């Protein structure tokens, strides 16, 4: 079977799964999946510091002929109100889409919608 016939894998990753992983484990998991050609929808995305770490890890993993990096799109964190802060609530990352850059392309993003396009021909391994 050719790679194209396998289709494109979309994995929705629950908040519980991500909560059970340390930051380092989370990044390793994401990069492994994305390098295997999968598109991930994270129910709860990454913190800004984790996002920066993911970019750094991605740059180290780039292999010029097989892996050119990631496409990652999400919204700014939810900020708690003053009252919520009093009860100990902190910033919460929101839903995030991450995939291989040769497969997933961002078209448009604003406060209400993230539009992406899948480039056929590079399905999951």
Residue 121, classified by CB atoms within 10 Å of its CB into exposed (0-12), middle (13-18) or buried (19+), is exposed
CB of 53 to another protein, least distance (A): 8
73: contact with another protein by CB under 8 A: yes
89: contact with another protein by CB under 8 A: no
Instruction: For residue 49, report the phi and psi dihedrals to the nearest 5 degrees.
Output: -65, -40
Number of residues that bind another protein (CB under 8 A): 30
Instruction: For residue 65, report the phi and psi dihedrals to the nearest 5 degrees.
Output: -100, -15
Asked whether 41 and 97 are in contact (CB, 8 A), the reply is yes
How far apart are the C-alpha atoms of 106 and 37, rounded to whole Å?
Answer: 16
Task: At 119, list the tokens.
Answer: 């480039």
Out of 51, 116, 118, 122, the only residue in the binding site for another protein (CB under 8 A) is 51
CB of 14 to another protein, least distance (A): 22
Using the minimum distance from each CB to another protein, give the nearer residue, 15 or 57: 57
Positions that interact with another protein (CB under 8 A): 47-49, 51-52, 55-56, 58-60, 62, 64, 68-77, 91, 101-102, 106, 108-111
């Amino acid at each position: 079977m050719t790679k194209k016939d396998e289709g494109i894998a979309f994995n929705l990753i629950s908040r519980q799964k991500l909560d059970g992983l340390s930051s380092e484990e989370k990044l390793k998991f994401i990069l492994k999946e994305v390098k295997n050609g999968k598109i991930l929808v994270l129910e709860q995305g990454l913190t800004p510091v984790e996002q920066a770490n993911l970019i750094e890890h991605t740059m180290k993993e780039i292999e010029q002929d097989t892996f050119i990096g990631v496409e990652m799109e999400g919204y700014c964190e939810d900020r708690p109100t003053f009252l919520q802060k009093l009860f100990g609530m902190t910033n919460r990352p929101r839903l995030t889409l991450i995939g291989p850059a040769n497969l997933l392309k961002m078209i448009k993003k604003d406060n209400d919608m993230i539009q992406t396009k899948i480039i056929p021909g590079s399905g999951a391994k």
